[in-house]
Structure 1
Amino acid sequence: MKKAPLYSRSPRRQATPAAVPAAEAVTQVAPLAKPSGRFAALRQRIKRHERWFWGLAMLLLLGLALFNNRAALSPPAYTPKQIDAMVRQSLEEKPLSSNASKAYQTVRGSVVRVLGLMTEGDEGDDSEPPRAAAAGKSKGGDGTPVERGIGSGVVIIDNGTILTNLHVVAGARRIKVTFADGHVSDAQIINIQSHNDLAVLRARSIPDDLQAATMRSTADLLPGDEVTAVGFPFGIGPSVSSGVVSGLKREFNSPDGQQTITNMIQFDAAANPGNSGGPLVTNDGAVVGIVTAILNPSRQRTFIGIGFAVPIENAAAGAGMPPF
């Protein structure tokens, strides 16, 4: 019996797949891989604040541009030698004020000229003042007031209280003081410290803008510190001289040997007759002493480099002021 063939001998036409509709073709395309969670969150945040991020980017670009411009316009770095030359040129064109000048400008409104007057026939010792630091003139013969002593003083209270040396006004029948602005007034002695050769005066009238000096303790004063003396040497002034503290706690004996003053400041700023009673000040214009004496081994009453001042603590105590 004849078996049926397992395969047909006629070629079998392969079936053509049916066309897929366009819509279905699209849907059948494999989707792109989804971004990770962090990246997606960042994209969403940038999208929500897109304007903010653009503004920040513009600011960063603008700052970078300004930085580059400043770097381009900044002056070149100078060498130490160039800097030194520029400083020297600047000082030559406009020199700095000296320490003595600054000190004087600070205290000048407080310095006064003190004049002791007497008339012919007045009693009193006309001998050379024991401190040899007050300028004096002989008496006239017509009974008119004449100068007995010319010295200096410093205002310590703005009510017209003035410190000076006792030997400037001792024996005077009338005392006149001339303030920095030219105002002239009579004054009277309200207290004395004979052991320190100090006198406290009170002016009867004062300028409207009277300036009292600033006083400073001598506790931190050291040899070598710069000081300035202001006064009226031989009646000329106000005159300024500068120097340093030469020593502390010095003892001075008067030329006649009748008085010894202790605890004095020794200085080398020029002082001459007429400087007595004037202030000795530091660089900041603070009064640390009252110029009282000069030392000269000869009988000449001129300065040879050694001057003495009473510490302001002693002087202020004479005026009834509390200690520092």
Structure 2
Amino acid sequence: MKKAPLYSRSRRPAVAPAPAEPAPSSPPASSRPKLRLGRWRAAARRHAPPLWAALVTALVLLGAAGQRALSPPPAPLSQQDFDAAVRHSLEKEPLPSAYARAYEAVRPSVVRVVGLGGDANEDSARVSDDPKAHTRSTGTGLVIIDNGTILTNLHVVIGAKRVKVTFFDGHESEASMVGAQPENDLAVLRAKSIPDDLVAATMRGTGDLLPGDEVVAIGFPFGIGPSASGGVVSGLRRQFRSPEGERLTNLIQFDAAANPGNSGGPLVTMDGSVVGIVTAILNPGEQGTFIGIGFAVPIENAAAAAGMPPF
């Protein structure tokens, strides 16, 4: 049996395979879509400053956060720190003393009082710088009502034919006596003319006054002043008998320096309030000068002499 041939020996032309579809050709380079790089570059140039600012801000914040994370928190301020700061401030600009503040509070209400005899030569002698001339003729007064009502000691003006007062700003005026309280050695004066800005003193009762409380005596010792001297309340409800035999009671004893000429001046506490009117000093000798014991009439009695309501 003949085997079938594995391939044909025929010379007929073989059937040509179907032609393959041509692959799509790439479009020319000129027709490809262009990347819009120009627009991105323009936008980047337009927004470059804000972008850089944001970047720098972010870096600064990150650095600060890192610094805080690495640095320990500050220690809380202690009382010693506050004390040191206060001391440093006071060393640079020290505050005025309590005595100075009390003096300044009352000084505009303090007046110089001079009793005059009427004769020009005698008046000149009374207001001279001779300390002996000021024993009884020169004293101090305190404005208690801004209409020119002044408290002083009776012994300063008793027997004077004329009385002259000099106010804080240098204004001078004649004054007349409108009231008296001999049992407390007090006189009430009224000035005929007053400064425009006259200020009355602030007064307070002595009910809470205690021995040891600091006080300032303000006046014109021997005509010099106004002068301030500081001390403390030495006692309350004291008695005093003058060389003329006059007896005063319920007095405030103090040790702030007072001399002839301080009579009628205010005794002032550290809050700038008047608690008494200086009236006498104790000196067993003949000099009549201060040895550490002065007396003041409580302001309650002094205000009553002027018809003011009690405290």
2:117 matched residue in structure 1: 118
Q: Deviations over 1:138-184 (max 9, x none)?
A: 9xxxxxxxx96010000000010000000100110110000001100
2:43 matched residue in structure 1: none
Tell me, yes or no, if structure 1 residue 154 matches structure 2 residue 158.
no
Contact 1:118–1:148 (CA under 8 A) maintained in structure 2: no
2:97 matched residue in structure 1: 98
Q: Which SS does the other structure have where 2:236 is aligned? A: strand
Quote how far apart the aligned CAs of 1:95 are.
1.3
2:152 matched residue in structure 1: 164
Cα distance in 2 for residues equivalent to 1:309 and 1:100: 18
2:242 matched residue in structure 1: 254
1:1-324 superposed matches below 5 A: 76-119=75-118, 137=133, 149-256=137-244, 258-324=245-311
Quote how far apart the aligned CAs of 1:83 are.
4.2
Cα distance in 2 for residues equivalent to 1:243 and 1:76: 45
Quote how far apart the aligned CAs of 1:304 are.
1.1
Unaligned runs of 5+ in 2: 1-63, 121-130
Quote how far apart the aligned CAs of 1:215 are.
1.0
- How does the TM-score come out when normalised to structure 2? 0.71
Which amino acid in 2 is paired with 1:295?
A: L
Cα distance in 1 for residues equivalent to 2:309 and 2:138: 29
Per the alignment, do residues 153 and 137 of structure 1 end up closer, same or farther by CA in structure 2, a change over 3 Å counting?
A: same
Contact 1:117–1:148 (CA under 8 A) maintained in structure 2: no
Cα distance in 2 for residues equivalent to 1:262 and 1:116: 26
Cα distance in 1 for residues equivalent to 2:73 and 2:232: 45
Q: Which SS does the other structure have where 2:137 is aligned? A: strand
Which amino acid in 2 is paired with 1:164?
A: T
Quote how far apart the aligned CAs of 1:119 are.
3.8
Quote how far apart the aligned CAs of 1:118 are.
0.4
The CA RMSD measured in Å over matched residues stands at 2.6
Which amino acid in 1 is paired with 2:262?
A: N
Per the alignment, do residues 89 and 174 of structure 1 end up closer, same or farther by CA in structure 2, a change over 3 Å counting?
A: same
Which amino acid in 2 is paired with 1:306?
A: I
Cα distance in 2 for residues equivalent to 1:204 and 1:232: 22
Contact 2:266–2:276 (CA under 8 A) maintained in structure 1: yes
Quote how far apart the aligned CAs of 1:322 are.
1.1
**What number of residue pairs does the alignment pair up?**
236
Quote how far apart the aligned CAs of 1:80 are.
4.7
Quote how far apart the aligned CAs of 1:75 are.
5.8
Cα distance in 2 for residues equivalent to 1:162 and 1:222: 27
- How does the TM-score come out when normalised to structure 1? 0.68
Which amino acid in 2 is paired with 1:77?
A: P
Quote how far apart the aligned CAs of 1:120 are.
5.3
Q: Which SS does the other structure have where 2:301 is aligned? A: helix
Quote how far apart the aligned CAs of 1:79 are.
4.8
Unaligned runs of 5+ in 1: 1-64, 122-134, 139-146
Quote how far apart the aligned CAs of 1:241 are.
0.8
Which amino acid in 2 is paired with 1:169?
A: V
Contact 2:136–2:155 (CA under 8 A) maintained in structure 1: no
